Homo-oligomer: A and B are copies of this chain.
Amino acid sequence: MPFKIVPILTPFRGNEIDGEKFKDHCLKLLRDGIDMIFVAGTNGMGPALSFQEKKMLAEYCSDITDRVIFQVGSLNLEESIELARIARSMNFYAVAALPPFYFGGIPEEWIIRYYTQISEVMETFIYNYPKFTGYDINADLARKIKKKGGNILGVKDTVSDIDHMMRYKYLIDDFMVFSGPSNYILHAAVNGLDGAVAAAGNYATEMFVQILDDTARYGRANQIIIDEIFDAASRYGQWASNYSLVRILRGYDAGDPRPPFYPLDDHTEEKLRSEVRSIMQKYGRESKL
């Protein structure tokens, strides 16, 4: 059965992380069939968190340690390594690491060094997101990293190309591949990937789990609904809508984003709720939204 992994939102209150909301959201996701929590990823605002804040997130995970993949990639390698040490000492399942971002034109050799040094401390998933980082850690490069001694378990591949994802499987033995985009949950299942890490898991948790656990029955139907919700959310700004959608679809509060990211105002959240309700009804889903 493929892994069902949620790149968890980081809830803020004012300028601070709201640890209670974070822990609560984690536990509810695990209760509802999620296998693993991906902490401090993109939807978790990882690149916007300070080193101290990432350490706090790790601590908030102390009760669910073996079900945590902790994203430690940053523009300060020593900090990334220190976070990997924490992950190891807490017995997290693994770490993941974004490559350096923002700064274009980094030599491939630096990327290799980056991943080998982090994974020396703890088993690491590459977090590949070329659109936001500017770097594509594809199967060829992943293989080079492993050849140089990188202790790489697999990849979270956030691209829209099933061939890119499968190529890791073709080229590297014992390499786990998780799809990243929310519209690739079904494709992960159909094409035999090892799991999916999808923002939609934060809010459309049950549908997400069903796609991967009972693909034949739920796969396409649920994926289409998730795609439509995602499209609706994108019109209001993905980063704000993510938080609203937890309230709308899961009925509890997972906090708000932090400026320069802003929550939807009440009126807009209501509009989004109403759109989501229409989508659910269109596809015959009962809903108490």
Taking Cβ atoms with an 8 Å cutoff, the residues of A that contact B are: 15, 42, 45, 47-48, 50-51, 75-78, 100-107, 110-111, 113-114, 117, 131-134, 160-164, 166, 170, 181, 183-184, 187, 190-191, 220, 224, 234, 237-239, 258-262
Contact = CB atoms under 8 A, between A and B. Distances in A.
A75 B113 CA distance: 26
24 contacts: A15-B76, A15-B78, A45-B75, A47-B103, A48-B103, A50-B50, A50-B51, A50-B76, A75-B260, A102-B133, A104-B131, A105-B234, A105-B239, A110-B237, A110-B260, A132-B134, A161-B161, A162-B162, A162-B191, A163-B181, A163-B187, A166-B187, A170-B220, A170-B224
A65 to B, nearest CB: 27
Contacts of A187: 162-163, 166, 191
A77 B260 CA distance: 5
Contacts of A78: 15, 258-259
Contacts of A262: 110, 113
Contacts of A114: 259-260
A198 to B, nearest CB: 13
A100 B260 contact: yes
B191 A105 contact: no
A163 B226 CA distance: 13
Contacts of A107: 237
Contacts of A45: 75, 103
A16 to B, nearest CB: 10
B103 A75 contact: no
A161 B164 CA distance: 9
Contacts of A47: 75, 102-103
A242 B1 CA distance: 41
A239 B190 contact: no
Contact of A261 (B103, B184, B260): B103
Contacts of A220: 170
B239 A103 contact: yes
B160 A132 contact: no
Contacts of A48: 75-76, 102-103
